[in-house]
Amino acid sequence: MTGTANGTRKPVHLAVYDTLADWETGHATAHLARGGYAIRTVGPTTDPVTSIGGLSVRPDLALAGLRPEDSSLLILPGADLWDTSDDLAPFARTARAFLDADVPVAAICGATAGLAREGLLDDRAHTSAVSFYLAATGYAGGERYVETDAVTDGGLITAGPTEPVAFAREVLGLLGVYEGEVLDAWYRLFHDSDPTAYAVLEKAGAA
């Protein structure tokens, strides 16, 4: 089973840092938690950080203490800091360590630019807000850019800032929380408000 050690699921790590876009990962983390994954927050240090929405978060651990072998997935939300400084570059380097260790990474919004600068999108299919946003980083992966809501290429998930539900769909599918018609119904319910999807989820015990 993905993300298990001695029969126990390893936690999912959610990166948190000042100016993080707090609306981008809520669908993913909520349903990962409902699916049995512990969510642990990881910050630059264990000092509190403040989101764009003014939420104060005290990280469970500092980035220096995070090891790929202790995690099922690293989630990188967007943040103003991805575009205004190099402060978050260590998180992109950690993403490289995760992918090198075959532990998946999910990046949304500005975090995709951070991965582009790290060279992690040069050889992987990916998406973001718009292609020219990533092109401005000077990365070499423009030909692998896909105009769609979210992309999974191996162990890497990417999405743009307007697609938190599609981002969550890819995360939940990758970790096997929901699959097949249940995953599709989950997406239709939360993205399209499709009332027929609820019956599928209820039947599967996922409502």
Catalytic residues: 109
Number of residues assigned to the chain: 207
57 CB burial (10 A radius; 0-12, 13-18, 19+): middle
Could you count the other beta carbons within 10 Å of the beta carbon of residue 140? 12
The amino acid at residue 63 is L
Instruction: Of 123, 50, 43, give the one whose Cα is nearest residue 88.
Output: 43
Residue 182, helix vs strand vs coil: helix
Could you count the other beta carbons within 10 Å of the beta carbon of residue 202? 11
Which two tokens mark 86? 């190099």
> What's the rounded Cα separation, in Å, for the pair 64 and 87?
14
